[in-house]
Each structure stands twice: as C-alpha cells, then as structure tokens.
Amino acid sequence: MANKNLFHSFRSSLLPPANARNDAGAEAYSLSPEASLARMAATGCLTPTFYAAAEAQLDRVLELAAQVDVDFLAKTALYARRKGYMKDMPALLCAVLATRDLDRLTEIFPSVIDNGRMLRTFVQIIRSGITGRKSLGSAPKRLVRQWLAYASDRQLIQATIGNDPSLVDIVKMVHPHPANPSRQAFYAWLIGKPYELEKLPASLRDFELWKRQKEGAVPDVPFQMLTAQDLGEKEWAVIAAKASWQTTRMNLNTFARHGVYRDEKLVDQLAERLVDPDQIRKARVFPYQLMVAYLNASSQVPLKLCNALQDAMEIALQNVPEISGNVVICPDVSGSMHMPVTGYRRGASSKVRCIDVAGLIAAALLRKNRKARVLPFEVDVVKLQLNARDTVMTNAEKLANIGGGGTSCSAPLAKLNSERYRADLVIFISDNESWADPHRKSGTKMLAEWEQMKHRNPKAKLVCIDLVPNLTTQAPDRRDILNIAGFSDQVFSLIASFAAGGDGLLHWIREIENQPLNPRMKIA
C-alpha cells in the first residue's frame, strides 16, 4: 500500500505559496486591485478596525481606486450603493471619479447619490481635498444643481436633516435656479429669507402652521423635524402611532424616554406593527438591523416589543437557504471579533460587534439547517451546544458570549480532518485575521487543511465570509472556494447559489462587472 504520509506531504507541497501578510502580520494570500477594491466597497465604513486605522483604510481605497480603470471604478460605486447599501464608500468613489472621468461620474451620479445624506457626503468629501481637489468645480456643481432640480419635495425636505455640510450650505454653494414658485419658496424658507407660506410644499406648510399651536394632525414631515420641537406625551403618542415600520424600529428608546409606553394599547399596536410580515417585507429590513434594535433596546422598552423584534427576525430570515448534505458553520469568536462591526467611531461606535454578526449568521443558518454542525473557534475549536429550535437571537447571544484569544482559521478544518468527517459545505464567518495557526513553509495552514478535506470529498465547497475590509485571504478564490465580503442578507443568497453549483472564482469581480453602465454621456 502507498505511504499516505508521503503522498499527503506531496499534495501539501503543491499549495500556492503565501504571497502577503495580513493586518495581524501572518501569512496570507493577496488579492488583485479589482478584488481588493470590491471587498473594501462591500464592507468598508472608513472607520478604525481592530487592526487598521481609518486613515490606513482611506489610503488603501484611494490607492486601489487609482489602479483600476474608470469603468470598474464606476461599477464599484454602483454596486456599493445598490447592493451593499453603503454610504461613505460609494460617495468617496464618486469623488474620485470627479478627478478622473466626469462623463462616467455624470451617468452614475443619480443612481449613487440618491438621497440628501449621500449628496452631503459627496460634497463633504470633495471639499476635504482628499481626492485631489478642494472645490466642486463647474461639472460637479452642475450635477448637484440637477439633483436639487429633480428631487421631489419630500426628498428635499428630508435632505434638510443633517449638517457638515447642511443643505443650506450646499444651496448657497451651487445657487440652484428654482423652476416654480413652490421651489422658490422652499429655498427662501431654507436659507432664512422671507417666503410666502401658501406657496411652500404642502407638508412643509402644514408643519409651519402646526408649530405655532401644536394642534390638529401631526404633519407628514421627517421624524427629526418633529422631535426638534418641544412636545408632550400626547404629541409623542400620535407620532408613535403614525410612525413607519423603520421609524418604530429605530426609535424604541426615544419613545420610552417620552412616555409613549404608558399607553398599553399603543404598545400592543407597536408590537403588531413590528411583526407584520407585509410591513417587514416593504421595509426591506436586514436581520442586522433587527439585531441592532434588539441589542440597543433599553430596560425601559417593554418586553413585548423586545419579543416582537425576535419574532420579526424569524420573518426577516425567510430567505436563509436550506442546504443539502453535511453543513459545517464556523463562527470566529476570537478577541478581535469583539470590535464594533462598523469600526470604532469616537462617541458613535456601534454596539453590534463582529462577534454578534458572526453569531447571527451562524444561528440563522442553523435555524434552517438543523443538522448542521456549529464549530466556534479561536486558537482552537470552542465546545458549545446549540439547540437549532431556539430563536436566532438566543443562539446568536450564546455564540457572542464566548471567546477571546488568538485566531486560527485552520482549527475547525483540522478538527474535522482528525475526525475524518466528510463535509459538503463549510462556512467560515470571521474577520479573516488568522495568525495563531501552526507555521508552514509554504501556503497557509487553512488552505492545507482544506486540501486534506477535499481529498476525502472532492465536491466539498468552502465559503469564507469576511466581516471587515481586508485585502488578504487565508484561502484564495477558486471554483470550490468563495470569499464573501460584508454582512448584509445577500450573504444567504450567495451561499445558496454557490452551494447549488456556483463558481467561487473571481466572484466579486464578476458581481461588480455585472453592474450595467449606460453608453457614455457628455456633461450638458
């Protein structure tokens, strides 16, 4: 019989050598500029992470943006906004395009800069000078004026919320030309000049009248405009009763501070709203958003509403796939996973950590794949028994309450190999900063363990979900290896497609390149 150790050593020697170092200083595989920019665009929030400062991430994005062609840059901005629902990153890429190709910027601008918040961010980045210019210039000014001209009254009123720059600053900067008396009155109201009340947009006119006496129906204006007023419990109860699903989710603590929950019937109404399947689908809520609301709910929020958030989570996760075969889920519970998932921001860091999101994804997959194995890991696999029948939030909390220490992404695969377990799909959820693995002369330990797994089951597939913006990976893209960036609920559909026969090779580049661009247009 052939010497198994000899042939195992031979197979391992054929692994591609590691050609990079990750942010933790360990061996890894580098990504192409296109793949790196795609991952940064899908996960990057331009804030400090456990291993990288915000300035370093910004420098990376600018360096990568300079290395790709303008079509890929434009498509990346589109993808980051349309599919990744990012804010700062697509605005930054548009600002870079303003220095490289104004025609490309013109054609993607309405799709990427699609609300007032995005408009303010774009202007702020341009004026900061980080992309090479400190003034908007004639072409970007024209694009901003066009945005203001085509925006609906509601969009403009919504855009008044926020500063640095404010909509007032932007209007004074670009001098838009009002197309009708209503828009002229709006601009006058905005910048504090005399205006005719009857010519204001209807909702804004109602708001100005309501402010004077606080009587009658609460006007249909952005929530923040109402909360800036001196309101009593009665007014707050009316606001809560009329609030949208998303406004309710985001303001549970605000309602508590203003006495809304003293009305038990209103509490019941809010709970019913939160678990309404139609409203959940209409709001296009992400499981991550529900976790944010659940973790941030203060002790003053009634238990009924906290339970409603858990029930809403179960409804929101209906697109989690059921996967045939032996599924293994490996959430990273190491020390670095305790950082905020959107990075550190002074005074505004998210309460949701990478380990919370890893627990959420793992628990959601287990909920639909009840025979799946869950192997939490740090330096080694952590023993934890989960009940697949428990709620997603319950199991996510159990996973988030363990861990610490170093990161060894090879540990779960090493355990499976020691058991000679035949896995069909292995899913890692990590920050990808593996450094505590046993040292190898060539290739990463994770890839070596995966090759051993593949020897037992050539059809096995590996998914590596990276929760932070990294430029390296422990297992490079191949037909059997899919690297996913980000933590939106798109993760589940990507896993389903890959498990059903999809190809992991250059996945993110294909995703970006599939974004449609119009024929080149010239700036008017």
Are 473 and 47 in contact by the 8 Å Cβ rule? The answer is no
90-100 per-position pLDDT tens digit: 999 999 999 99
- Residue range 255-284: mean pLDDT, rounded: 94
Q: Residue 347 has what pLDDT?
A: 54
Q: Residue 19 has what pLDDT?
A: 85
Q: What is the DSSP letter of 228?
A: T
Of 231-240, 435-444, 483-492, the poorest mean pLDDT is in 483-492
Amino acid at 78: L
Q: Residue 235 has what pLDDT?
A: 85
pLDDT at 317 over 90: no
187-223 per-position pLDDT tens digit: 999 999 999 999 999 999 999 988 887 777 778 888 8
> CA angle, 37 as apex, 33 and 43 as ends, to 5°?
150
- Residue range 347-368: mean pLDDT, rounded: 82
Higher pLDDT, 509 or 8: 509
pLDDT at 112 over 60: yes
Cα–Cα distance list, 340 to 61, 238, 334 (Å): 20, 35, 13
Q: Residue 438 has what pLDDT?
A: 85
Cβ atoms < 10 Å from Cβ of 35: 22
> 3-state secondary structure string, 10-44?
HHHHCCCCCCEECCCCCEEEECCHHHHHHHHHHHC
pLDDT at 298 over 60: yes
Read off the tokens for 174. 């670009």
Q: How far apart are CA 137 and CA 154, in angstroms?
A: 28
Alpha carbon 397 to chain centroid, angstroms? 20
Please state whether beta strands 27-30 and 472-473 pair in parallel, antiparallel, or not at all (unpaired). Answer: antiparallel
Q: Residue 329 has what pLDDT?
A: 96
What's the whole-number average pLDDT of the chain? 86
Are 91 and 112 in contact by the 8 Å Cβ rule? The answer is yes
Q: What percent of the chain has pLDDT over 90?
A: 50
pLDDT at 505 over 90: no
Q: List Cβ neighbours of 390 (8 Å cut-off, separation of 6 or more).
A: none
Q: Residue 4 has what pLDDT?
A: 46
Q: Using 50, 70 and 90 to split pLDDT, how confident is the model at 365? A: very high
Q: Using 50, 70 and 90 to split pLDDT, how confident is the model at 69? A: very high
Are 514 and 494 in contact by the 8 Å Cβ rule? The answer is no
26-41 per-position pLDDT tens digit: 888 888 888 888 877 7
Please state whether beta strands 373-374 and 327-331 pair in parallel, antiparallel, or not at all (unpaired). Answer: parallel
- Residue range 144-170: mean pLDDT, rounded: 93
Are 356 and 291 in contact by the 8 Å Cβ rule? The answer is yes
pLDDT at 43 over 70: no
Q: How far apart are CA 185 and CA 415, in angstroms?
A: 69
Q: What is the helix (H) or strand (E) element at residue 374, kind and residue range? A: strand 373-374
Are 289 and 249 in contact by the 8 Å Cβ rule? The answer is yes
Q: Rg (Cα) of the chain, in Å, rounded?
A: 25
Q: How far apart are CA 94 and CA 78, in angstroms?
A: 9
Q: How far apart are CA 227 and CA 180, in angstroms?
A: 30
Are 453 and 413 in contact by the 8 Å Cβ rule? The answer is yes
Domain positions in the chain: 69-215, 222-316, 320-513
The reply to whether CATH 3.40.640.10 applies to domain 320-513 is no
373-404 per-position pLDDT tens digit: 999 999 999 999 899 888 888 988 898 888 78
Higher pLDDT, 13 or 74: 74
Q: How far apart are CA 44 and CA 474, in angstroms?
A: 19
Q: What percent of the chain has pLDDT over 70?
A: 90
Q: Using 50, 70 and 90 to split pLDDT, how confident is the model at 345? A: low
- Residue range 155-181: mean pLDDT, rounded: 93
Q: Residue 493 has what pLDDT?
A: 77
Q: List Cβ neighbours of 441 (8 Å cut-off, separation of 6 or more).
A: none
Q: Residue 92 has what pLDDT?
A: 93
pLDDT at 73 over 50: yes
